[in-house]
Amino acid sequence: MELTESRLAGLLGTRQFRFYPQADSTNDLALKWLTQGAISGSVVLADEQIKGKGRLGRSWYTPPGTALIVSVILKPAAQHLPRVTMLGALVIAEMLEAVGTAHVGIKWPNDVQLNGQKVSGVLPEAVWEGKELRGVVLGMGINVRIDFTNTELADRAVSIEPFLGHPVDRADLLVKLLSRIDYWSPQLGTSELFRAWESRLTTLGHEISLQNGGQLVHGKAESVDEDGALLVRDITNEFHRILAGDIALGR
Ligand code: BTN
C-alpha cells in the first residue's frame, strides 16, 4: 500500500508529521523544523529520498516506494544524548521482531541486521544552542523492498520483504516503530534500555578491526559501556574505548 498524506493522517492521530513524496533529506527537513519549534515526537517522512545522509559523511539514496524513511524529533536531556543512538537501533530491532522477523541483531553501534546483512541505518543529529541541547533528529532508513541484486551491496544489505517472503505495509511498520519510540524515549537513561540494546548486539566476543581517530585498532570486542562505547582489547591487552566508527569482523 502506498504512503500518502491522508493515510498517514488517519494513522498518526494527533502526532505532528510532515510527509514529502520526494525529499532531499528528511533529517535536514526535521532539523529545520526543530529550529522552528517542532514539538518532541514530531515526524518527517518521505517516499523517495534523493540526498539522504548516512553515517561518516556517506550518502543514502532511497528509490520511491521502497523504504521507510523517517526522522523523529526528540528532546532528551543532554546527558542522555549518547542513548539516542541506542534508541534508534533498539526500536528498529523491536519493530522487526513485532512483524515476525527472526535473526534480528545489532552490529555495534546502530546497524540493524537480518542474518548479518544490514536492513537499516540510523543517523542521529543534535541541535545545540550554546551549551543547551535544543533537540535531536533521529533519522532512520529501513529497507522494505529495495532490490540489491547485482549491486555492490548485494552481499551486505537486505530488505524486509524478500527476507520475510511476503509484502509488508510501511504504514504498519511506522506505527510499530513510533510506539516503541514512545515507550522507550521517556526511559532513555535507564539500564533497561541499555540492556535491551546490549542483548541484541552481535559484535561482542568477536575479533574486530576499525579505524579510531586515524589509528587502526584490532582486537576482541569485549563489552560496551553505558554510554554505548565499545571496549576492545588488543593483543597487547591494552583496552581501547571506541565511541563511534565502522567495524569489520576479523583482521
Ligand atoms: C547509515 O549510514 O547507516 C545511516 C543512514 C541513515 C539514513 C536515514 S534515512 C532518513 C534520515 N534522513 C537522512 O538524510 N538520513 C537518515
pLDDT one-digit tens code per residue, 109-118: 999 999 999 9
- Can you tell me which atom of ligand 1 is nearest the CA of 30? 12
Strand order across the beta sheet in which 207-212 lies: 239-242, 230-233, 215-224, 207-212, 248-249
pLDDT one-digit tens code per residue, 45-101: 999 999 999 988 889 989 999 999 999 999 999 999 999 999 999 999 999 999 999
User: What pLDDT is stored for residue 73 in this prediction?
Assistant: 98
Grouping H, G, I as helix, E, B as strand and the rest as coil, residue 56 is: helix
Q: Please state, in angstroms and rounded to a whole number, the distance separating the CA atoms of residues 112 and 88.
A: 9
Distance 46 CA to ligand 1 centre (A): 12
pLDDT one-digit tens code per residue, 26-51: 999 999 999 999 999 999 999 999 99
pLDDT one-digit tens code per residue, 116-174: 999 999 999 999 999 999 999 999 999 999 999 999 999 999 999 999 999 999 999 99
- Can you tell me which atom of ligand 1 is nearest the CA of 27? 12
Separation of CA 66 from chain center = 17
pTM assigned to the model:
0.95
Distance 138 CA to ligand 1 centre (A): 9
Q: How many Cα atoms occupy the beta-carbon half-sphere of 160 within 13 Å?
A: 25
Task: Check whether 251 has a pLDDT greater than 70.
Answer: no
